[in-house]
Amino acid sequence: MKVYQSNEIKNISLLGSSGSGKTTLVEAMLYESGVIKRRGSIAAQNTVSDYFPVEKEYGYSVFSTIIQTEWLNKKLNFIDCPGSDDFIGGVVTSLNVTDTALILLNTQYGVEVGTHNHFRYTEKFNKPIIFVANQLDHEKSDFDKTLEQLKENYGSKVVLIQYPVTVGPQFNAVVDVLKMKMYRWKPEGGVPEVLEIPDSEIEKAQEYHNALVESAAEHDEALMEKFFDQGSLDEEEMRVGIRKGMLHRDMFPVFCVSAGKDMCVRRLMEFVGNVSPSVNVTEKPQTKDGKEIAPDPNGPTSLYVFKTSVEPHIGEVSFFKVMSGKIKEGEDLLNVNRSSKERISQLFSVAGQIRTKVEELVAGDIGATVKLKDTRTGDTLNAKGCEYDYKEIKYPEPKYRRAIRAVSEADEEKLSEILTRMHQEDPTWIIEQSKELKQTILYGQGEFHLRTLKWRVENNDKIAIEYKEPRIPYRETITKVARADYRHKKQSGGAGQFGEVHLIVEPYFEGMPTPETFRFGGQEYKISVRDTQEIKLEWGGKLVLINSIVGGSIDARFIPAIMKGIMDRMEQGPLTGSYARDVRVIVYDGKMHPVDSNEISFRLAGRNAFAQAFKEAGPKLLEPIYDVIVQVPSDKMGDVMSDLQGRRAIIMGMESEKGFEKLTAKIPLKELGSYSTTLSSLTGGRASFNMKFASYELVPMDIQDKLLKEYEASKKDEE
CATH number (domain holding residue 638)? 3.30.70.240
Question: For 47-58, what is each residue's pLDDT tens digit?
Answer: 888 888 888 888
Residues 572 and 695 in one domain: no
For residue 227, which phi and psi values (nearest 5 degrees)? -60, -40
Q: Among 79-93, 219-233, 251-265, whose mean pLDDT is lowest?
A: 219-233
Least confident interval from 36-45, 138-147, 321-330: 36-45
Single-letter code of the amino acid located at 437: L
Q: Do 116 and 26 have their domain in common?
A: yes
Q: Which DSSP string do the residues of 90-101 spell out, in sequence order?
A: HHHHHHHH-SEE
| pLDDT for residue 719 is more than 60 | no
Burial 377-387 (b: 16+ CB within 10 A, else e): bbbbbbbeebe
Residue 324 has a pLDDT of: 96
Q: Is the residue at 708 inside a domain?
A: no
Q: Which of 88, 26, 82, 85 is nearest to 55 (CA)?
A: 82
The answer to the question of residue 293 being in a domain is no
Q: Which of 21-30, 87-96, 561-570, 632-641 has the lowest mean pLDDT?
A: 632-641
Are residues 558 and 664 located together in one domain of the fold?
no
Q: Are residues 458 and 542 in the same domain?
A: no
Top pLDDT among 521 and 176 is at: 176
Q: How many domains does the chain have?
A: 5
Summarised one tens digit per residue, pLDDT across range 671-714 is 998 898 899 889 887 788 999 999 999 999 999 999 999 888 88
Whether the CB-CB separation of 80 and 22 falls below 8 Å is answered with: yes
pLDDT, average across residues 434-450: 93
Last residue of a domain, one of 424, 439, 471: 471
Dist CA 103 CA 12 (whole Å):
10
Comparing C-alpha atoms, which of 535, 529, 405, 380 is closest to residue 463? Answer: 405
Share of the chain above pLDDT 70, in %: 99
Spatial distance between the Cα atoms of 116 and 95, rounded to a whole number of angstroms? 15
Residue 288 placed within a domain: no
The answer to the question of residue 390 being in a domain is no
110 and 125 share a domain?
A: yes
Q: Distance between CA 665 and CA 661 in Å, rounded?
A: 13
User: pLDDT tens digit string along 453-474?
Assistant: 999 999 999 999 999 999 999 9
At 168-220, the pLDDT tens digits run 999 999 999 999 999 999 999 999 999 999 999 999 999 999 999 999 998 88
> How many CB atoms within 10 Å of residue 87?
24
Q: Which of 365, 276, 269 is nearest to 9 (CA)?
A: 365
Q: Is the pLDDT of residue 61 over 60?
A: yes
Burial (CB < 10 A; 0-12, 13-18, 19+), residue 564, is middle
Q: Do residue 109 and residue 133 come from a single domain?
A: yes
pLDDT of residue 575: 87
Distance CA 409, CA 413 (A): 8
DSSP state of 166: S
Model confidence band, residue 283 (pLDDT cutoffs 50, 70, 90): confident
557 inside domain:
yes
- pLDDT of 495 above 80: no
In a domain? residue 254: yes
State which of 382, 414, 429 marks the end of a domain: 382
Mean pLDDT of the chain: 92
* Residue 121 CB-half CA count within 13 A: 30
In contact, 500 and 488? CB cutoff 8 Å = yes
Cα Rg, the chain, nearest whole Å? 32
Residue range 77-92: average pLDDT?
Answer: 93
| DSSP letter (8 states) at residue 438 | T
* 8 Å CB contact between 233 and 223: yes
- Residue 261's pLDDT band, with cuts at 50, 70 and 90, is very high
pLDDT at 364 over 90: yes
Distance CA 560, CA 568 (A): 12
pLDDT at 717: 66
Q: Are residues 556 and 457 in the same domain?
A: no
Pairing mode of beta strands 430-434, 439-444: antiparallel
Q: Do 127 and 248 belong to one domain? A: yes
Look up the domain containing 603 and give its range. Answer: 476-618
pLDDT at 496: 87
Q: How far apart, in Å, are the Cα atoms of 475 and each of 481, 575, 613?
A: 18, 10, 17
pLDDT tens sequence across 388-418: 999 989 999 999 999 999 999 999 999 999 9
The domain that contains 437 carries what CATH number?
3.30.70.870
The pLDDT assigned to 400 comes to 93
Residue 507 lies in a domain: yes
Does residue 525 form part of some domain?
Answer: yes
Contact 113, 687 (CB under 8 A): yes
pLDDT digits (tens, 9 = 90+) for 582-623: 999 999 999 999 888 999 999 999 999 999 999 999 999 999
Choosing from 452, 471, 490, the residue where a domain stops is 471
Same domain, 116 and 231: yes
Q: With cut-offs at 50, 70 and 90, classify the pLDDT of residue 280.
A: confident
- Pair (343, 436) in one structural domain: no
Same domain for 633 and 560, yes or no, is no
The domain that holds 365 is classified in CATH as: 2.40.30.10
Alpha-helical runs (H) found in 71-198:
88-97, 113-124, 143-154
Residues 347 and 204 in one domain: no
